[in-house]
């Protein structure tokens, strides 16, 4: 009798612990848990230089009609209508979290390249989207300003620069022509090189008498 009583006391105690713990879960003050990825992961992604794409690589992709990415212009609509990169989609920073912009940003099919005038607004958009756990996001380094400086109006290399700089300049120049920039030298008509007229040698062909098969005879 004595043992059963102590056992049941123990059970009552254990049951009370369970109820208190479960009740504690109900009564605990709730707090807003942050959604999306961990802060450490966001930080490591933010430090990584891989999140930037340079204007040269972007120009190369555009020229080669790489289908693997979409361009998103996070500037205001008025700026977007004035000038933007070819085939860019306009999602102003304010509308970034709207429902209609989610299908562009939250997908695993394309790389998303965000850009603005410099990379500051694009970086903000990048952080917001990354916090939500969206994937394959990149920022155009330097934004449209840098695009203009490097691709549309590339600096002419001076004579003391290496041949690599000249190569880069030529590529950029060719890319800028692709995007519709006209260079004066394109329209310069080359002077026809004067070539001394050499009187063609007269070739005197001696007509050989054709041997005629013997006619007649027997």
Partner 1 sequence: MGPLIPNGVIPYEWDSVLAILIGIAFGFVLESSGFSSSRKLAGVFYGYDFAVLKVFFTAAVVASIGLYYMDYLGYIRVAELYVQPTYLWGGIVGGAIMGVGFVAAGFCPGTALTSVAIGKIDAMVYVVGIMIGVFIFAEFYTLFQPLYEGSFLGNITVVDSFGVNPYWFIFILTIAAILAFYLTDLLGKKIKKVFY
> Which residue ranges make up the site for partner 1 (CB under 8 A)?
11, 15, 18-19, 21-23, 25-26, 28
| Residue 49 C-beta: closest distance to partner 1, Å | 22
* Helical H segments across 28-119, by residue range: 39-47, 55-63, 77-82, 102-105
Other CB atoms within 10 Å distance of the CB of residue 178: 13
| Residue 134 C-beta: closest distance to partner 1, Å | 17
| Residue 89 C-beta: closest distance to partner 1, Å | 31
**Residue 144: both structure tokens together:** 């449209």
| Residue 11 C-beta: closest distance to partner 1, Å | 8
Q: Which residues pair with 139 in a beta bridge?
A: 52, 114
**Residue found by looking up tokens 């009552």 in the block:** 12
H or E stretch at 140:
strand 137-140
Minimum CB distance to partner 1 smaller for 24 or for 200? 24
Minimum CB distance to partner 1 smaller for 119 or for 130? 130
Minimum CB distance to partner 1 smaller for 7 or for 177? 7
Minimum CB distance to partner 1 smaller for 8 or for 153? 8
CB 93 within 8 Å of CB 72: no
């Amino acid at each position: 009798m004595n043992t059963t009583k102590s056992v049941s006391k123990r059970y009552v105690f254990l049951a009370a612990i369970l109820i208190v713990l479960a009740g504690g879960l109900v009564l605990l003050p709730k707090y807003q848990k942050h959604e999306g990825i961990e802060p450490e992961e966001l930080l490591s992604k933010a430090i990584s230089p891989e999140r930037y794409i340079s204007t040269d690589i972007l120009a190369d992709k555009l020229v080669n009609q790489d289908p693997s990415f979409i361009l998103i212009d996070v500037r205001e609509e008025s700026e977007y209508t004035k000038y933007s990169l070819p085939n860019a989609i306009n999602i102003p920073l304010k509308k970034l979290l709207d429902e209609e912009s989610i299908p562009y940003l939250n997908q695993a099919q394309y790389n998303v390249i965000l850009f603005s005038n410099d990379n500051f607004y694009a970086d903000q958009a990048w952080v917001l989207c990354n916090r939500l756990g969206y994937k394959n996001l990149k920022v155009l380094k330097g934004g449209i300003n840098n695009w203009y400086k490097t691709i549309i109006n590339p600096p002419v290399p001076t004579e003391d620069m290496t041949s690599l700089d000249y190569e880069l300049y030529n590529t950029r120049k060719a890319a800028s022509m692709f995007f519709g920039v006209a260079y004066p030298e394109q329209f310069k008509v080359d002077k026809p090189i004067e070539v001394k007229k050499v009187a063609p040698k007269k070739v005197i062909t001696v007509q050989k008498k054709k041997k005629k098969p013997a006619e007649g005879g027997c």
